[in-house]
Structure 1
């Protein structure tokens, strides 16, 4: 699935389109599905993952809309939906292009290349989308989503902020990525923003 910084870029672009009154809750919601309680349990619950007839795993973001439609006045739920939509798109496109076609014994090595690419992409994306560390972690005690333990959200925000400010050698956009391409990643972010916005306009 996409990185924390990619999800932050997505909610930042959604905020530009929707002009959310509480952008901090939007960004928190955009990170939240990667939290579970206890923290090391499967993320299938928070991502509403289902196994379809073909045997493929799929994020059922439509079920999230159905189950939590009452909550979309709150930007947290908008951000949460954007994460699910983005992960659905990642799985259906990026995973099935870059990982799934490989022989099983090569997939883990490809996943590790992808994670190294994430680190290279972080600096590029934070500059391109003008991302800054989150400084207001609005309370989330009023959020009730199955499998989500909101008490861990400050820790996830800390991890995101570390991604944005970590001290490492400056990466040039021209530096070679091992698995992904910058064009595909930016296209993925753009598609995720558009698909989420289309869904929000139907609510």
Structure 2
């Protein structure tokens, strides 16, 4: 899945383009699926479903819509949807067609592309000119708006994202590419907007 910073960029760009008025609530919803302490919680928060096992894992938007009615009227649910769409793009455009096959050949690949996430944080924020906007939203009170998501886990998710903003590494990528990640983020933004417009 995309990094916390990538999810933040998508959420902020979608909120800006849609002129969302309650940015803090929208943003909290966008981070909410990351507030999991176990793999089981992560799968539940991401509405994962499978047809035949791990190789065919996908996000069930129908289950999301069934659980949460009137998504379009709640900024936290619209933010949540951007996270799911962004992860759907990761699964369908990167993981299933490419990364999954590579990880079977190189056992360290997951660690390698997670290090790439760290290397990409600052360049991506600079490219989208969102460092100031992200700092501003992180200064707002942390909203715990989902009863089934632990308040401490939400706080930790915000804390880790804030740490990401100050974590720098060399810029030599091991697995991912700059152009590929820009394309991933742009597609995620457009598809998130399209999903929300269709509600």
- CA distance in 2 between counterparts of 1:21 and 1:103 reads 41
Shift of residue 151, structure 1, vs aligned partner: 4.2
Query: Any runs of at least 4 consecutive aligned residues in structure 1 with deviations exceeding 4 A, and if so which?
Result: none
TM-score, length-scaled by structure 2: 0.87
Q: Does 1:15 align with 2:15?
A: yes
Deviations 1:2-50 (A, max 9, x none): 00000000001101211111111222111110123xx234211000101
Aligned length, in residue pairs: 192
Secondary structure of 1:45's aligned partner: helix
For the 8 Å contact 2:65–2:71, the answer to whether it is kept is: no
What does residue 114 of structure 1 align with?
A: 113
Shift of residue 66, structure 1, vs aligned partner: 3.2
TM-score, length-scaled by structure 1: 0.85
In structure 1, the gaps of 5 or more residues are none
In structure 2, the gaps of 5 or more residues are none
- CA distance in 2 between counterparts of 1:98 and 1:109 reads 15
For the 8 Å contact 1:11–1:27, the answer to whether it is kept is: yes
Q: Does 1:51 align with 2:50?
A: yes
For the 8 Å contact 2:119–2:172, the answer to whether it is kept is: no
What does residue 128 of structure 1 align with?
A: 127
Deviations 1:96-135 (A, max 9, x none): 34422236251x3111110110011001111112233211
What does residue 30 of structure 2 align with?
A: 30
Indicate the RMSD between aligned Cα atoms, in angstroms.
2.0
